[in-house]
Amino acid sequence: GQQVMQIPQYQHVQEGEDFTTYCNSSTTLSNIQWYKQRPGGHPVFLIQLVKSGEVKKQKRLTFQFGEAKKNSSLHITATQTTDVGTYFCAGYNNNDMRFGAGTRLTVKP
Amino acid sequence: GAVVSQHPSRVICKSGTSVKIECRSLDFQATTMFWYRQFPKQSLMLMATSNEGSKATYEQGVEKDKFLINHASLTLSTLTVTSAHPEDSSFYICSAQTGSVPEAFFGQGTRLTVV
């Protein structure tokens, strides 16, 4: 079945440094979604990428979908303490949605 | 955005008892609902997928007789943890999808503690 791998598992950065998390699917995806889960909270939808090679930006966050629609990345520029949490990718294909393991980001002020 | 309400948010139960968790889509019809379990500081683990009016599809390794899922209507799905044991203590989250939008809307989660 479909598998979604996400790395790294943990990332600790100094405030102001950049951060990137990567997702790779074993199968071609219809779309990929990104979620953020704050400590103690539930996952909240950030964005969806559908097109091959698509790049979307939300302020300091940049999301990319690979040309083969099998991988994706989330990049945060100049992290802030408000960015802490776990970022999950979720690959969607044929009514099957699979989450990556998540990358837990901590930011040192 | 769409709202999914999950209840209760926290529950403590005695070993051997059963606990029911409700997941409601408040302003949309959820054709599909997902139930996840999340261990501390770990990823979401899909337990089962349920479509309204049909039996849930359980992931490998998830006991369907222990985790009973009922998706009786387009706005309500329930997860019942039967004969709970301390190892069932976890954070359970539901999510719901409509047929037209693949985005998943999550409930707030239920922290289950079995003592």
Tokens encoding B91: 């954070």
pLDDT at B93 over 70: yes
Give the residue from B52, B55, B51, B30 showing the smallest Cα distance to B107. B30
| Chain B residues near residue A88 by CB distance under 8 angstroms | 43-44
Helix (H, G, I), strand (E, B) or coil at A75: strand
- How far is CA B62 from each of CA A76, A78, A90, B35, B99, rounded to the nearest angstrom? 36, 41, 21, 11, 25
Q: How large is the C-alpha radius of gyration of chain B?
A: 13
DSSP state of A89: E
Closest residue on chain A to B37 (Cα)? A42
Q: Report the distance separating Cα B38 and Cα B43, nearest Å.
A: 6
B11-21 pLDDT, tens per residue? 999 999 999 99
| Backbone angles phi and psi of A63, in degrees to 5 | -115, 135
Q: Report the distance separating Cα A90 and Cα A84, nearest Å.
A: 19
| Chain A residues near residue B109 by CB distance under 8 angstroms | 42
How many residues are listed for chain A in this entry? 109
- With a pLDDT cut of 90, the percent of chain B lying above it is 59
Residues B34, B104 contacting (CB under 8 angstroms):
yes
Give me the residues of A, 5-44, that contact B with CB < 8 A.
30-31, 33, 35, 41-44
Residues A44, B104 contacting (CB under 8 angstroms):
no
Q: Report the distance separating Cα B59 and Cα B104, nearest Å.
A: 18
What pairs with residue B95 in β-bridges? B34, B106
Residues of chain A with pLDDT under 50: none
What pairs with residue B39 in β-bridges? none
B29-81 pLDDT, tens per residue? 888 899 999 877 677 888 998 888 788 999 989 999 999 999 888 899 999 99
Q: How many CB atoms lie within 10 A of CB B111?
A: 16
Q: Which of A30, A95, A99 sits opposite B44 (nearest CB)?
A: A99
